[in-house]
């Protein structure tokens, strides 16, 4: 996919700041680039951009496997608040002063009297969030941290903080609602995650491509062997088609296309599988060095398999697609 000049400038700014690895990173990203409120209108403290600009930044975070609340707070939480018509929390989130965690629960979580009961797994940033939001069907709620139980998860990918959050008749403040809020947020999560996945896949491919051009075996670089070239070509094709799937889904979601749910499911499946396949080639072509703690290959492998389960495993979304694309 060819980026616009504006997108390339945003990409370069984010990439440069991430390469410098300033401490603290998230406040710098928020202050200098405004990433926490990219897709939030200016009147609510945001930059007035769209999901496409958020995708650019998410891809750069994925390239470096950078831990940040971008996906959970700056995308999912802010868009949930906008969709529900609850804007009072947005300025502090857009400024990076606070971080929100979003729980996706069903209608059954509402136990009456403005109280919620249920359990959400794989909740992003729940242990450090200042604001806890709960999406239940067509309503968005706010709950206090003191009224929920947060359990740390043993992580396959230590760069992606996840937790289990339990609510037991927890008092909640209804912020607003919108028809189809919960499935829309799941689609948004899949699309935003796909941007991180293609960023990680692109970096894994680059590292592998550079390595095979330098590694010498039998008197020649291994990249000169035809079998390696064929495997790299297949990996590149996977990367390009995954990138197209991610951007197409993002455009559909940003414009409110009726095809957005189908394209979101396709992006989740294709980008998950592409990242896993490209990282597998990374491991194979690097040989023994790839299984050492010192090399980054294992970090990309962990991210690939952990991301595949986030917002539903690929098999779940394949079932969605079979119901819409296959004749009955």
Q: Would the pLDDT of 328 be above 70?
A: no
Predicted confidence band of residue 181 (pLDDT cuts 50, 70, 90): very high
Q: How confident is the model at residue 23, as a pLDDT?
A: 81
Give me the percent of the chain exceeding a pLDDT of 90.
86
The predicted-structure confidence for 100-148, as pLDDT tens digits, reads as follows 999 999 877 887 788 999 999 999 999 999 999 999 989 999 999 999 9
Q: Would the pLDDT of 327 be above 70?
A: no
Give me the percent of the chain exceeding a pLDDT of 70.
99
The predicted-structure confidence for 227-274, as pLDDT tens digits, reads as follows 999 999 999 999 999 999 999 999 999 999 999 999 999 999 999 999
| Co-location of 84 and 154 in the same domain | yes
Q: How confident is the model at residue 34, as a pLDDT?
A: 96
Q: How confident is the model at residue 117, as a pLDDT?
A: 94
HEC sequence for 231-261: HHHHHHHHHHHHHHHHHHHHHHHHHCCCCHH
Predicted confidence band of residue 184 (pLDDT cuts 50, 70, 90): very high
Written as six digits, the tokens of 310 are 């986030």
Q: Helix, strand, coil % (nearest 5) of the chain?
A: 60, 15, 25
Rounded (10°) CA dihedral 100, 105, 106, 107: -60
Mean pLDDT, residues 8-26: 93
Q: Would the pLDDT of 21 be above 90?
A: no
- Examine the fold and report which residue of 156, 177, 198 is the final residue of a domain before the chain moves on: 177
| Co-location of 196 and 84 in the same domain | no
- Examine the fold and report which residue of 177, 192, 220 is the final residue of a domain before the chain moves on: 177
Range of the domain at 20: 5-177
**Count of structural domains within the chain:** 2
Report the run of H or E that residue 104 belongs to, with start and end: strand 100-105
3-state SS, residue 137: coil
| Co-location of 185 and 299 in the same domain | yes
| Co-location of 144 and 161 in the same domain | yes
Rounded (10°) CA dihedral 40, 42, 45, 50: 20
| Co-location of 189 and 301 in the same domain | yes
Is the pTM here over 0.85, yes or no?
Answer: yes
Q: Would the pLDDT of 293 be above 80?
A: yes
3-state SS, residue 143: strand
């Amino acid at each position: 996919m060819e980026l616009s000049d504006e997108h390339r400038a945003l990409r370069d700014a984010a990439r440069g700041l991430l390469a410098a690895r300033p401490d603290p990173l998230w406040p710098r990203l928020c202050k200098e680039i405004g990433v926490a409120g990219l897709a939030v209108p200016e009147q609510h403290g945001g930059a007035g951009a769209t999901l496409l600009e958020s995708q650019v930044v998410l891809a750069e975070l994925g390239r470096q496997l950078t831990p940040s609340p971008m996906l959970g707070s700056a995308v999912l939480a802010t868009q949930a608040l906008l969709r529900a018509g609850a804007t009072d929390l947005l300025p502090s989130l857009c400024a990076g002063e606070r971080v929100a965690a979003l729980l996706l629960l069903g209608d059954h979580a509402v136990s009456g009297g403005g109280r919620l009961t249920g359990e959400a797994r794989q909740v992003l940033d729940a242990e450090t969030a200042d604001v806890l939001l709960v999406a239940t069907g067509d309503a968005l709620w706010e709950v206090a941290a003191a009224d929920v139980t947060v359990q740390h998860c043993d992580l396959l990918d230590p760069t992606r903080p996840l937790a289990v959050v339990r609510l037991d008749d927890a008092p909640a403040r209804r912020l607003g609602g919108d028809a189809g809020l919960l499935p829309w947020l799941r689609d948004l999560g899949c699309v935003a995650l796909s941007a991180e996945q293609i960023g990680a896949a692109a970096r894994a491919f680059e590292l592998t491509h550079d390595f095979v051009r330098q590694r010498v075996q039998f008197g020649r670089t291994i990249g000169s062997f035809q079998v390696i070239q064929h495997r790299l070509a297949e990996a590149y094709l996977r990367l390009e088609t995954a990138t197209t799937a991610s951007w197409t889904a993002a455009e559909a979601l940003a414009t409110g296309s009726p095809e957005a749910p189908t394209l979101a499911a396709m992006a989740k499946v294709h980008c998950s599988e592409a990242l896993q396949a490209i990282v597998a080639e990374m491991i194979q072509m690097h040989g023994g060095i790839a299984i050492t703690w010192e090399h980054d290959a294992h970090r990309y492998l962990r991210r690939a398999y952990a991301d595949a389960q986030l917002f539903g495993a690929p098999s779940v979304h394949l079932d969605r697609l079979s119901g819409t694309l296959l004749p009955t």
